Amino acid sequence: MTIFDLDFMRYALVAAVMVGLTAPAVGTFIVQRRLALLGDGIGHVALTGVALGFLTGTAPVATAVVVAALGAVAIEMVRARGKTSGDVALALLFYGGLAGGVMIIYLTPGESTASLNSYLFGAITSVDATDLWVIAGLAVAVLALLAVFGRELFVLCQDEEVARASGLPVRFLGLLIAVIASVTVVVAMRAVGLLLVSALMVVPVATSQQLTRSFRTTMALSMVFGVLATVGGLTSSFYLDVPSGATIVLLALAGFAVALGIGRFVRRSRTGESTA
């Protein structure tokens, strides 16, 4: 029996490809903007959204998108103020999101924190046809927005002051990247869980930048690494009978370690040539 014989695995594989493409694409801008942990913050806030879904009887993905987007906007507004206490304010929001989620789920009749487990750690094999349409729609929207605004986002993430002196709508673009990130977090939530979501936004980018020279190839290669990690992790978790989310992230980290070694070797041999 192969994994393609099972409906749920076919759905899971398609979802894995979507997540593997979108998370690193957004992640490239987020890392360039020095906000590598933004995904973590949004993930914590999204948990309150998931719990609200249970409480109100609506789809947790829908409530998670709304709450995560609001959280991302709040984070961006705190950041844009540029006060030194910005990171503390962000931390408060993260803990509030996590504690809020746990409290709301406790107050929901018939639910317990165990209901949150699949959202915290991922349950990609539970994706059904409807989920798949939602995930695909969100992923396409994210990639389309990045394609349209990519040039402006590059300038913004490189140097905000230069973006302002070029007449770019800096506040709008800052909110846009925050909202795109929050949608991506919710898309990736099903695959690796809210606690590991940021790994898929950051690790493939960190892997890729060991080997590349340009922004464009860094982004493209990180998307390749992202898909390798999600699809490879999902497949091996199926055959080894281990949790998929953790396998995906561990595989991505292993890829980083290998790229780090290769990158060091290549740079050393290049320096050797030029000094020789």
Binding residues for other proteins, rule: CB under 8 A, are 28, 31-36, 148-149, 151-152, 154-155, 157-159, 161-162, 164-168, 205, 209, 212-216, 218, 267, 271, 274-275
8 Å CB contact between 204 and 252: yes
Task: Compute the Cα dihedral for 29, 21, 181, 137 and give only its sign.
Answer: positive
| Nearer CB in complex with other proteins: 98/259 | 259
**One-letter amino acid for residue 120 of the chain:** L
> Per-residue DSSP letters for 166-182?
TT--HHHHHHHHHHHHH
8 Å CB contact between 105 and 113: yes
Nearest distance in Å: CB 268, other proteins: 11
| Nearer CB in complex with other proteins: 209/230 | 209
Residue with tokens 């844009």: 80
| Nearer CB in complex with other proteins: 151/265 | 151
| Nearer CB in complex with other proteins: 47/163 | 163
Nearest distance in Å: CB 11, other proteins: 33
Nearest distance in Å: CB 29, other proteins: 8
Contacts of 51 (CB under 8 A, 6+ apart): 60, 100, 101, 102, 103, 104, 105, 108, 116
| Nearer CB in complex with other proteins: 184/237 | 184
Nearest distance in Å: CB 263, other proteins: 10
| Nearer CB in complex with other proteins: 193/204 | 204
Q: How far apart are the first and last CA of the chain?
A: 56
Report, in this order, helix, strand and coil percent for the chain, each rounded to 5. Answer: 85, 0, 15
Nearest distance in Å: CB 251, other proteins: 22
Sort 263 into a burial class: Cβ within 10 Å, 0-12 / 13-18 / 19+.
middle
- Going through the chain in order, the beta strands assigned E by DSSP cover none
| Nearer CB in complex with other proteins: 144/258 | 144
Distance CA(254)–CA(248), nearest Å, equals 10
